[in-house]
Amino acid sequence: MNEDTNTLVHDVVIVGSGVAGLSAAVYAARADLEPLVLEGPEPGGQLTLTTDVENFLGFPEGVGGMELIQRGKEQAGRFGAEFVHGTVEDVTLDDRPLELSLSNGEKLRTRALIVATGASARLVGAENEDELMGYGVSTCATCDGAFHRGDDVLVIGGGDSAMEEALFLTKFADSVTIVHRRDELRASEVMAERARDHDAVSFRWNTELLEIQGSQDEGVTGATLVSHPDGYPKQKLEASAAHGDVADQAAKTRDAGEVERETVDVGGIFYGVGHVPNTDFLEETPVELADTGHVETREGMTTETTVEGVFAAGDVMDPDYRQAITSAGTGSMAALDAENWLDKRAAEREVATEQDQHAEPDAAPIEVDASD
Ligand code: NAP
């Protein structure tokens, strides 16, 4: 960032450098908007943690997630997008231009903002999870799998991420057990079949991770699992602890009584239980968020949020599709929406200036904020 940081007003700042942010950057840069892209705590986003991407159009043999991101960054840079490291802590969206406060104390001002902050790995809330995260508990098999050569490992979750993590871990681990809280996978059939067909992969149905054993010195040594024939065993335990009427309480107690506990020896635990959108910095702003934390966009095919000049793209606004290709799509839409909005604002300013020039000499001047 240069010394003009405090006075310079950007046309577009893009927060996030995953596939949505990069796609927005390519489009905005090609529209001569000279976008500034803020690379946050996870530059490149979730794709940098994945292995092969097999369903991104145009790559019949698949493409590495990291490679796709690096190429996207190169492409955006070629058209003039600028990349800087910085995490947004706070945003002021009531005034124009919009103002972003970064964790390093710097401030950025921009006419339009594209939020492409993606989503981060969800945790399961097992006992000792925080203490052992990074010491045998991981949310990223591609990052940490190689530390588990010859181990027996668990993968928690029943979606595509869990299947992908499990399959990747078979390269290193002796055995991989997928622990899923019900008896039906959420994963796509193709991914589920690959996991089911792999000799080193097995499943624990209707089971959840309650507690992790180990220490930061010796890593993970074991896990306590709970299971119930109807699934969701942790809910059953939690429900029995909450107070209800007598009949209700009896049913809950019976349910909880059917929960079985087992401690297994494992050397690693990988979470593949989905993601939560990174929208903490928007919580106190007029940008409307859904109950899930996702940014709400206006009705219809648009990336406009409830605040003029603020657009959202990728996993941060998409609770349903969450694909690399759809993120690239909404990223491009956000840049086009921002460009149209900036053009409209510029045209409105021009008209206001013209009216001002032709106004009666004693009429009050029409206010135009030159920075907006
Ligand atoms: P997901 O589809 O939301 O699946 C999350 C899984 O974790 C579900 O099975 C869920 O159980 C389980 N889960 C959630 N919270 C839990 C908790 N607290 N304790 C235990 N289990 C919990 O998330 P995802 O697998 O990350 O996939 C996200 C999107 O990315 C999907 O659209 C997927 O298709 C896509 N994706 C694609 C690929 C690929 O094609 N190669 C790879 C990865 C991801 P329930 O089923 O009971 O809800």
Q: Are the CB atoms for 13 and 114 separated by under 8 Å? A: yes
Q: Of the residues 181, 184, 211, 316, which should be mutated to test ligand 1's pocket, given the most ligand atoms within 8 Å of the CB?
A: 181
**What pLDDT, on the 0 to 100 scale, is given for residue 191?**
97
Query: pLDDT per residue over 162-200, tens digit each?
Result: 999 999 999 999 999 999 999 999 999 999 999 999 999
Instruction: Give domain 10-121+275-353's CATH architecture.
Output: 3-Layer(bba) Sandwich (3.50)
- Bridge partners (DSSP) of residue 113 are 13, 310
Q: What are phi and psi of 342, to 5 degrees?
A: -65, -40
Q: Where in the chain is the domain with CATH 3.50.50.60?
A: 10-121+275-353, 129-271
Length of the chain: 372
Q: Tokens for 167?
A: 């399959």
Q: Are the CB atoms for 53 and 18 separated by under 8 Å? A: no
0.85 exceeded by pTM: no
Query: pLDDT per residue over 267-323, tens digit each?
Result: 999 999 999 999 999 999 999 999 999 999 999 999 999 999 999 999 999 988 889
**What pLDDT, on the 0 to 100 scale, is given for residue 1?**
46
Pocket of ligand 1 from Cβ distances under 6 Å: 55, 122, 124, 156-162, 164, 181-182, 186, 188, 208, 272-275, 322
Query: pLDDT per residue over 206-239, tens digit each?
Result: 999 999 999 999 999 999 999 999 999 999 999 9
**What pLDDT, on the 0 to 100 scale, is given for residue 364?**
58
Q: Output the CA 164–ligand 1 centroid distance in Å.
A: 10
Closest-lying ligand 1 atom to the alpha carbon of residue 160: 25
The CATH number, out of the four listed (3.50.50.60, 3.40.190.10, 3.40.640.10, 3.60.110.10), of the domain defined by the range 129-271: 3.50.50.60
Residues known to be catalytic: 140, 143-144
Closest-lying ligand 1 atom to the alpha carbon of residue 184: 46
- CA 265, 268, 271, 272 torsion: positive or negative? negative
